[in-house]
Amino acid sequence: MPQPLQTEQHLGYRILLWTLAIALIAGVLISCVQVSLDMVRVSDELDADAGQTIATVQDSATQAVFSIDAQLASQVVDGLFAKEAVRAVRISHPSGETLAERRRPLETTDFRSLTDPIFRQQRAYRRALIRASEPGTVYGYLDVEYDTAPAARVWLNRAAVTFTSVIALAMVLCGLMFVVFHVLLTSPLLRIVRSVRQVEPDQPDNRLLAMPEGHGRDELGLWVNTTNNLLVAIAESQKSRREAEDRATQLTQFDKLTGLNGRDTFMDALRGAILEAASHGRQLSLYVLGLDDFKSMNEQFGFRTGDQLLISVGQRLTQTLGSSRYTVARLGSDQFAVLETELRDGFQAADTAEQILTCFRAPVDVNGQRLSSSATVGIALYPADAGDAERLLQSAEQTMALAKQNGRNHFQFYVASIDQEIRDRKQLEKDLVNALELGQFRLVYQPQINLESKRVIGAEALIRWEHPERGNVPPDYFIPVAETSGSIIAIGQWVLDQACEQAARWAADGQPIRMAVNLSAVQLSKDSIVDDILATLARHQIPAGRLELEVTETSFMTNLQDAVDKLRALHRAGVSIAVDDFGTGYSSLTYLKQMPVQHLKIDKQFIRDLLVNEEDTRIANTIIDLGRSLNLTVVAEGVETAEQEYYLSQRGCKLAQGYFFSKPLPADEFETFVQRFHQQMVENNL
């Protein structure tokens, strides 16, 4: 196996080192020249600045000496000391007598040992003080000493910038050159080497060398083209033999007419899928379908037309079931088989069977004729119906044959009870879609009683479905179906709208009670649920505090943070939040701390056997104590006896609902109940 290149062996790395060394040496030399020239310029500027400064104050200094004005001389000296570089100034008479003088120490810096030999530590300048009217008479002298440190500092900073910029420029140029060489040479070479290593000796034309981008006409491109031509030439001698082998394999493994998997190949795939499903605890579904009246079509239109029809059926099945979860095969004659993996349940199998049947709805154009066909599907499930491939296929084939005796263009499951259950479920889904438009839903209201004040303080809105054929369909049966099909979104909004409208009516009639509405997990996952609820409250002009949303423990566990954010937004708006059926789900204190919950509703299964079942009594007591410790109001559902009501009241449960007080009632009966209940409480107190 070829050994990988070490870093120092890479061509780009060696080019980078050479380029960097040359650039640094050239940069240092150029910088030295620039710094030297700048040194001369700074020295000249220092002398020029001194000359200009002295010339500026020369007349004032001459006047001070001529007038022997010490105060004016001091002002001149002080003015010169405004310049940082001036170290000493002296105005004196020709005799040497000082008229004004001032000095300060040399600036102490770390770089003097470097710059003093270059610029000298200080520079002295003398100017004779002569009046313009008497050019031959010297009245005195102006002596100025300059500290070279400020000018040296400027020069040193520029020198540092020069060296740094040159070195940085050298590094940048080296980096750019490295990138250029890497892109144009080393990287294409490495890609070519990798392509050569991937060439398969037995099939060299399957992995030809990839042409480096942008090198199609240079030496690298010529090398790649020459190598590829050689690989293709080597492969030509093997191509004929492989094609013959492929044709033989095609004939043995695939159906000659449709190109689909043959029976033997399909059975191998089925056995492998069963082993995979068994190891992961998954389900499979096997569909065997036969065309209805295919024999009569052959007799009427001829076998060639029948073959074209079979080809079209195979194409439609492949297009409709294009996912990797499906394997399609022709078992023989007019029978086809479909294997589906990753099956969730029988309802998903029913959906797939309906997709298969849709393949036959559109007529098929064969030899200028439009042929209408249909099929019957038999379904067998693994592991429910059979545990091995042969028995599973046999079950599906038998089911298909039995289904043909009962009609055409439909599917049937191997087990009759499962078949009926799934059909009922599918029909219920279809009925749910139209139930809302047909006005088959209605709301009833169950009163919520304050156990301390004995007053009706709220009502829980409950949906009822009056099916024209099934009669009263229990919510526990159709609500899960609505959640699965997605129709719960429209149904839930209808319930919320109707409940808010009723709450507004009661408020207008002088009965402003709180309305509790259930919120499903599907509704809570909807992005616009918060806006939808607040818009409904605004539409009916009722305060948010009069609405209570009941969510189950499991409804927000899929995406806890998203649910918490939405419920907090509703809580900030004033809506109350209650956890329904508490104790039947996760019952985790973690989400109770995160969520804006005000009420805990004890599930009715714990109230039903209260004082009879010790475990249920203990659970109810625990929930009441938990609510008290978290400052939450506890609501007991399903109260049916006076003993239960008394016990809950004594234990500190604040609210209750159940048949002991009232069953769920229509709106008008609910109003009558409230009046009678309150009147009865007044009479009992009297």
- Condensed to tens digits (0 to 9), the pLDDT of residues 479-491 reads 888 887 788 999 9
DSSP 130: E
Q: How far apart, in whole angstroms, are the C-alpha atoms of residue 648 and residue 607?
A: 9
Give buried/exposed letters for 640-658 (b at 16+ CB in 10 A, else e): eeeebbebbeebebbbbbb
Nearest alpha carbon to residue 255 among 265, 244, 267: 265
Q: Given this model, what pLDDT does residue 151 score?
A: 83
Residue 573 near residue 534 (C-beta atoms within 8 A): yes
The DSSP annotation for 577-604 comes to EEEEEETSS---HHHHHHS---EEEE-H
Host H or E run for residue 404: helix 389-405
Q: Using alpha carbons, list the distances in angstroms from residue 71 to 57, 75, 165, 596.
A: 14, 6, 51, 85
Residue 398 has pLDDT above 90, yes or no: no
pLDDT of residue 533: 95
Does residue 504 or residue 215 have the better pLDDT?
504
Residue 580, pLDDT > 90, answer no
Instruction: Quote the pLDDT of residue 686.
Output: 46
- Of 81, 187, 65, the residue nearest 127 (C-alpha): 65
Is pLDDT above 60 for 5? no
Q: Pairing between strand 599-602 and 576-582?
A: parallel
Q: How far apart are CA 326 and CA 41, in angstroms?
A: 85
Question: Tell me, what's the pLDDT at 212?
Answer: 73
Percent of the chain residues topping a pLDDT of 70: 92
Residues 97-115 have a mean pLDDT of: 86
Q: What mean pLDDT is predicted for residues 311-327?
A: 88
Task: Give ∠ CA 38-44-45 in degrees, rounded to 5.
Answer: 85
Q: Using alpha carbons only, what angle is made at residue 470 by residues 469 and 474, rounded to the nearest 5 degrees?
A: 150
Contact indicator for 473, 481 with CB cutoff of 8 Å? no
The Cα 556–Cα 396 span in angstroms is 40
Distance CA 244, CA 247 (A): 5
Q: In this predicted structure, what is the pLDDT of residue 240?
A: 65
pLDDT tens-place string over residues 432-454: 888 988 999 999 999 999 999 88
| Tens digits of residue pLDDT in 183-209 | 777 777 777 777 777 777 777 777 777
Q: What is the mean pLDDT of residues 264-268?
A: 89
User: Comparing C-alpha atoms, which of 199, 196, 200 is closest to residue 212?
Assistant: 196
Cβ atoms within 10 Å of 585's Cβ, excluding its own? 17
| Cβ contacts of 86 within 8 Å, gap of 6 or more | 53, 80, 144, 145, 146, 147
- pLDDT 10s digits, 138-181: 888 989 988 888 888 888 888 888 888 888 887 787 778 777 77
Q: What is the pLDDT of residues 669-685, one digit of tens each?
A: 999 999 999 888 777 76
Residue 249: per-residue pLDDT: 59
Q: What pLDDT does residue 1 have?
A: 44
